[in-house]
Chains A and B, each alone.
Chain A
């Protein structure tokens, strides 16, 4: 608790407070843009943050505020336009859009504002309680255990979130391979550079991320002409939503806890959080519910669930260095680019960063509630901005940001190449998040493997020779099988 108090001292510094506010407002705005979810939003902002020459704490506060803000903002386009910004926001459209059609858009926005607040608050409290526990456990990890942890991250990344399992693993392997491009840090041997000196430093995560997410999004946008899509603008006041939220307090509470648990699990993330919350709530309400036709419970539950999951996903990212979702992977990319390796040592060596961030989350969440209840109408206006203006803006922000990282046109071509790769992968339904994870974690994974091997003198059995690593492998198997079973059940029920 002492540490948290210190964290508040860090977060309340004027610069940090300002960045949190700016991040929250910007995040809500980005989240509200149709089709631009948190992943794209945060990816787009990363090169800019990097260029401000902010301290790591300040940069992280800004980006995490944007992240939380996007999670709040995502509901606006889901409810008013029936267009989810990303996968987790999909469940919100099911009852949110019908509510908006009935002229209760304002109420739905107010309600989800409160639900998002509670979800994020529960997750942040959970972060304070559970991250140190995980850290005290992980502090005993050696290189072999870390290697096992990375295997866990990859084994579970596709298992729970869905789709063709082989495709997720394929994507992870591709990412890991791309991660080896460049000069090997241990032996100084250039790998897969084909004589291009631009590749000697390896593939810049940030360039790859912006391409994979933001540029590929623009390519997807160009597919249809987007003519004549008018937002439902009968808003009404958001304030009655607060009273509705009180009526739905049970749904919000249950969904927050459920979403948080889903967020902490490696590889699950916010999509599972909102999906489970909605499904459970529909069960719980039974015939009393009016689900699919604008039931407030059906709007509150997934929003509380996905915001709680977004916060929960920060736990494995900060305490173990393994992100569970696309957005936390981007936050990890920021940290790695600033030469900060998340994990138990981060909590020991830079407590001001970790606890300052946590305190900033509490403050940011309050700011978001304030921004999102009375001012939600203002943010909803952004939906009127035409796509032909927004998308070129996104592209230009990406281009200017990435160019200023290294003042090289090569980075721009690289980003375009990753944009095309991201687009093709999306069309093939090969998930892009494992590619990013592979690219990010590959270096650490290889480093730990080689350290473990040099400790054992070349004996491969060190990889599975400790109780902890066996435990991790078993946990990975359980999650993987659980995910498969879950999938199979969902399919079978439908």
Chain B
């Protein structure tokens, strides 16, 4: 069963990469320089997109084996991690490091399988530890909380 699923995902990956190759090849024709260079900016991408396309075709025709894809619950955990990290990336500038990190780290520890009783103190510990480490020991300034930059 997994063998068959493997063939499908390889074919799918091949199809996606084939599209990438064709688009790359197509777009490379727009990349021309004004003055007479023997090899312009479009040549190398074109040169690469040809084997990329051919190999994708090969992958569609002769797919190999894959690892098993995660189950639904694992997939949900992975998606939550990504969402959490996107929230972090979105909040880091407006809110500053401490509140953003405290929120994401605590939830992340919870996500990686700890209980709330573990997640709350360790989230605080990790956030403060990282803050002290980067801000003071390593001298890398982190974004401050608004209104706190003295």
Which residues of A pack against B, CB within 8 Å? Answer: 48, 51-52, 163-164, 166-167, 169-170, 173-174, 176-177, 180, 184, 186-187, 189, 191-192, 218-219, 221-227, 386-389, 391-393, 395-397, 399-400, 403-404, 407, 409, 412-413, 416, 419-420, 423-424, 426-430, 442, 445-446, 449-450, 453-454, 457-458
Contact = CB atoms under 8 A, between A and B. Distances in A.
Q: Which of B40, B41, B51, B65 has the most CB of A within 10 A?
A: B41
A413 B109 CA distance: 21
A180 B44 contact: yes
Contact of B112 (A52, A392, A409, A419): A392
B24 to A, nearest CB: 6
Contact of A387 (B32, B43, B113): B113
Contacts, number: 182
B101 A396 contact: yes
B17 A388 contact: no
Given A413-B86, A446-B44, A189 B13 contact: no
B69 to A, nearest CB: 6
Top 4 A-B residue pairs of the complex, sorted by shortest distance between their CB atoms: A187-B33, A412-B89, A388-B112, A173-B52
Contacts of B81: 218-219, 222, 395
Contact of A176 (B48, B55, B139): B48
Interface string B98-139: 000100010011011110001100100010001000100011
Contact of B67 (A426, A446, A450): A426
Nearest to A423: B78
Contacts of A388: 109, 112-114, 118-119
B142 A177 contact: no
Given A223-B70, A395-B108, A453 B45 contact: no
Contacts of B148: none
A51 B140 contact: yes
B31 A428 contact: no
A167 B64 contact: yes
A69 B78 CA distance: 30
Interface string B62-74: 1011110110001
A412 B88 CA distance: 9
A453 B69 CA distance: 46
Nearest to B118: A388
B33 A189 contact: yes
A429 B93 CA distance: 37
Contacts of A191: 27-28, 31, 41, 45
Contact count band on B: 35 or more
Contacts of A450: 37-39, 43-44
A397 B138 CA distance: 12
Contacts of B28: 191
Nearest to A425: B13
B113 A389 contact: no
B19 interface: no
A103 to B, nearest CB: 30
A392 B114 CA distance: 11
B65 A400 contact: no
A218 B14 CA distance: 26
Nearest to B40: A187
Contacts of B113: 225-227, 386-388
Interface string B56-94: 101100101111011000100110011001101110110
A416 B82 contact: yes
Given A187-B33, A395-B108, A412-B89, A400 B140 contact: yes
A389 to B, nearest CB: 6
A412 B38 CA distance: 38
B64 A458 contact: no
A252 B108 CA distance: 43
Q: Which of A170, A446, A454 has the most CB of B within 10 A?
A: A170
A364 to B, nearest CB: 21
